[in-house]
């Protein structure tokens, strides 16, 4: 089981699989593994000992060769010893079962923890190209699918191997010819088991992929957003059909997986049932020929040992099939464990003293390109040679058409991605050299669609500052203009908001998100179209909350509504990944370029005239007062 195979995962990274890697999962629990080994060895020998004692009971107690009649003392003595051995092995078997299952569950728990922690450390690009349902399937279904392999495989292989060797040796001692007869078909079953295992492994992989596909459908269509969408468009029948097809596929491959294994083991069981009959026939022929080398006790002991031999053979074959089946699941798990993060922390990261953070953000000749599904950079970079700075206390805004690269700038500031070239820094420290925790403490992010967990309002606001007091949460909520609305709920701050904050309106969710950032109290604030999807009344309330949030911080904002950023210290116009204009509101209007065109579209009814800050309209595209 030391063979290794290289698979290519979803990101074209190389994933190496080996059984040694699976065995390595048990390393933190090596002491308990040794305990299980000891229990297995002692318990496994008991069955072989009883078979040998049974021969003594028959040949020396029940049917002595000297014709002296039944030796009751010998029968009783052997019976007591056999009962004692059985009691000990049974007790050890119970202890072994408890210890083995506890060990297996702890290994599975560690594997789930490790997988989840690794996924938490992966970059945003990984999740942008993954499906949530597939991630859930790998953590729950795939890890759960290897439970049998992790929980029982070690003890089964060890105990069955010990029993097999012990029974084989005892059978050879009793009768070599009968042993050879019994072992005649075992090699054939071993070869067949390998073939069955490979076939079943293929079906296991298909089963897990079908399970993942059904999980994806369930996760998408039974979420609050998904069910709302299907109802609004009357697509319930379509979604039911999607689920039915995925469920049918799962049932189909699951049946194939079970049938191909059970059919094989049915044949083995039939062979096991017929094997003692062959021994009886051969023994009858030998005894009939007057050969006394085989006694009644030998036959009874041999057939008992035969069961002790073939049962572990069958179990070992079954374990081999299960291991090959589990291999597919381990490969899927290791694929995610081997996925490399694009954004990693430096070996010796710089930790910022939060009380000394100024909040100066700088881009120096930054270019960035998203990766395609195959892991290559896309043909057209999202940003090209972008340079700017944002000083403490400044509001720096980015405007431009959709897809121009504005949100990418903010993602780089938050280090959700690293630049392809160039440098992004905070207080003159390259973000790639900065401790991730320091960056998270220094930064606050408010998006257009603020995400809330399905807990209470209090928990959502205090998310970025664990241990916050009720007074601190209330203060942040008042500043975000959401306190009064919260108190209208019967449970106040302990109101459960539901999945993605569904019980709250869009404006309310946004203000809760602003309260969360206010409580976090960052030195750098990032606003990604924080009000563009709201009605005028909600926007007015949130804009008031944002004024409180922006005060005294370095703020980077993306906005489609120019009314929200007219007071910005600097406005950068982004087109096709490049900054094409920079200045404040009046300066950019005076230039009469892209910003002026955007302003005309929003406030001038689409006319070609330039609208200047004082309301004067000029047809030449420039504001005369600025030129003067």
| Across 81-95, 305-319, 487-501, 573-587, least confident range | 305-319
Kindly report which listed range (166-180, 249-263, 555-569) carries the lowest average pLDDT score: 249-263
Q: Which tokens hold the place of 185? A: 């078909």
Output the average pLDDT for the chain. 77
Give tens-digit pLDDT for 5-15.
Answer: 333 344 444 55
Exposure string over 391-426, b if 16+ CB within 10 A, otherwise e: eeebbbbbbbeeebbbbbbbbbbbbbbebbebbbbb
DSSP 341: P
- The pLDDT of residue 321 is 67
pLDDT of 423: 94
Pairing state between β 361-368 and 383-390: antiparallel
pTM score over 0.75:
no
Give the residue with greater pLDDT, 569 vs 271. Answer: 569
- Supply 189's token pair: 């079953």
Q: Residue 3's pLDDT band (boundaries 50, 70, 90)?
A: very low
- Quick one: tokens of 308? 């002790």
Contact call for residues 198 and 324 (beta carbons, < 8 A): yes
State both tokens at 35. 């305990």
- pLDDT score, position 578: 92
**Residue 7: which of 335, 333, 323 has the closest Cα?**
335
Q: What is the pLDDT of residue 185?
A: 62
Structure tokens at 71: 């030796």
The CA distance from 399 to 571, in Å, is 7
The distance in angstroms from the start CA to the end CA of the chain is 84
**DSSP string for 396-439:** EEEE-STTSSHHHHHHHHTTSS--SEEEEEETTEEGGGB-HHHH
Query: Alpha-carbon distance 322 to 151, whole Å?
Result: 12
Mean pLDDT throughout 468-490?
88
3-class DSSP string for 7-57 = EECCCCCEEEEEHHHHHHHHHHHHHHHHHHHHHHHHHHHHHHHHHHHHHHH
346 versus 552: the higher-pLDDT residue is 346
Question: How confident is the model over 203-228, as a mean pLDDT?
Answer: 72
CB 172 within 8 A of CB 105: no
Percent of the chain topping pLDDT 70: 74
In angstroms, the CA 611 to CA 620 distance is 11
Q: How confident is the model over 401-418, as pLDDT tens digits?
A: 888 889 899 989 988 889
Cα distance between residue 251 and residue 248, in whole Å = 5
CA dist., res. 213 & res. 133, Å (int): 8
Q: What is the pLDDT of residue 77?
A: 87
Domains and CATH numbers, the chain: 4-337 (1.20.1560.10), 354-450+521-583 (3.40.50.300)
Count CB-CB contacts under 10 A for residue 180. 11
Report the pLDDT value the prediction gives residue 6, as an integer from 0 to 100.
34
């Amino acid at each position: 089981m030391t063979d290794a195979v290289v698979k290519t995962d979803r990101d074209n990274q190389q994933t190496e699989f080996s059984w040694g890697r699976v065995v390595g999962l048990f390393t933190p629990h090596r002491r308990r593994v040794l305990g299980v080994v000891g229990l297995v060895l002692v318990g496994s020998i008991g069955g072989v000992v009883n078979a040998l004692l049974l021969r003594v009971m028959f040949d020396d107690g029940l049917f002595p060769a000297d014709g002296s009649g039944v030796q009751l003392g010998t029968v009783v003595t052997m019976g007591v010893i056999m009962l004692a051995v059985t009691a000990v092995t049974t007790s050890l078997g119970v202890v072994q079962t408890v210890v083995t299952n506890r060990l297996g569950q702890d290994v599975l728990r560690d594997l789930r923890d490790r997988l989840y922690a690794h996924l938490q450390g992966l970059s945003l690009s990984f999740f942008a190209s993954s499906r949530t349902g597939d991630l859930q399937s790998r953590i729950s279904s795939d890890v759960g699918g290897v439970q049998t392999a992790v929980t029982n495989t070690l003890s089964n292989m060890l105990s069955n191997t010990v029993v097999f060797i012990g029974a084989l040796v005892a059978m050879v001692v009793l009768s070599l010819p009968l042993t050879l007869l019994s072992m005649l078909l075992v090699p054939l079953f071993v070869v067949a088991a390998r073939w069955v295992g490979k076939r079943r492994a293929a079906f296991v992989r298909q089963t897990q992929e079908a399970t993942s596909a059904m999980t994806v459908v369930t996760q998408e269509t039974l979420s609050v957003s998904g069910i709302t969408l299907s109802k609004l468009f009357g697509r319930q029948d379509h979604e039911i059909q999607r689920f039915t097809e995925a469920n049918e596929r799962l049932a189909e491959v699951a049946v194939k997986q079970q049938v191909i294994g059970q059919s094989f083991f049915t044949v083995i069981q039939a062979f096991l049932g017929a094997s003692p009959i062959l021994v009886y026939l051969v023994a009858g022929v030998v005894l009939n020929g007057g050969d006394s080398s085989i006694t009644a006790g030998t036959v009874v002991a041999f057939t008992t040992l035969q069961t002790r031999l073939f049962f572990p053979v069958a179990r070992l074959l079954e374990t081999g099939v299960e291991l090959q089946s589990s291999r597919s699941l381990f490969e899927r798990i290791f694929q995610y464990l081997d996925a490399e993060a694009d954004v990693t922390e430096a070996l010796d990261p710089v930790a910022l003293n939060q009380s000394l953070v100024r909040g100066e953000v700088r881009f120096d000749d930054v270019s960035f390109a998203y990766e395609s599904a195959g892991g290559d950079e896309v043909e057209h970079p999202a940003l090209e040679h972008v340079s700017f700075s944002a000083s403490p206390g400044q509001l720096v805004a980015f405007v431009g058409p959709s897809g121009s690269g504005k949100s990418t700038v903010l993602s780089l500031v938050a280090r959700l991605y690293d630049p392809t070239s160039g440098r992004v820094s905070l207080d003159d420290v390259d973000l790639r050299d900065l401790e991730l925790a320091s960056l998270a403490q220094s930064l606050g992010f408010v998006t257009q669609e603020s995400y809330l967990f399905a807990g209470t309002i209090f928990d959502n606001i205090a998310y970025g500052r664990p241990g916050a007091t009720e007074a601190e949460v209330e203060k942040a909520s008042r500043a975000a203009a959401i306190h009064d609305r919260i108190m209208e709920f019967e449970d106040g701050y302990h109101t459960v908001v539901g999945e993605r904050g569904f019980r709250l309106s869009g404006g309310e969710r946004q203000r809760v998100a602003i309260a969360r950032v206010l409580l976090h109290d960052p030195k750098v604030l990032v606003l990604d179209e924080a009000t563009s999807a709201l009605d005028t009344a909600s926007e007015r309330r949130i804009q008031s909350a944002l004024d409180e949030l922006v005060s005294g911080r370095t703020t980077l904002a993306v906005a489609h509504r120019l009314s929200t950023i007219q007071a910005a210290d600097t406005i950068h116009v982004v087109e096709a990944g490049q900054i094409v204009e920079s200045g404040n509101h009046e300066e950019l209007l005076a230039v009469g370029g892209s910003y002026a065109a955007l302003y005309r579209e929003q406030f001038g009814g689409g006319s070609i005239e330039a609208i200047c800050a004082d309301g004067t309209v000029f047809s030449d595209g420039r504001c005369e007062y600025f030129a003067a």
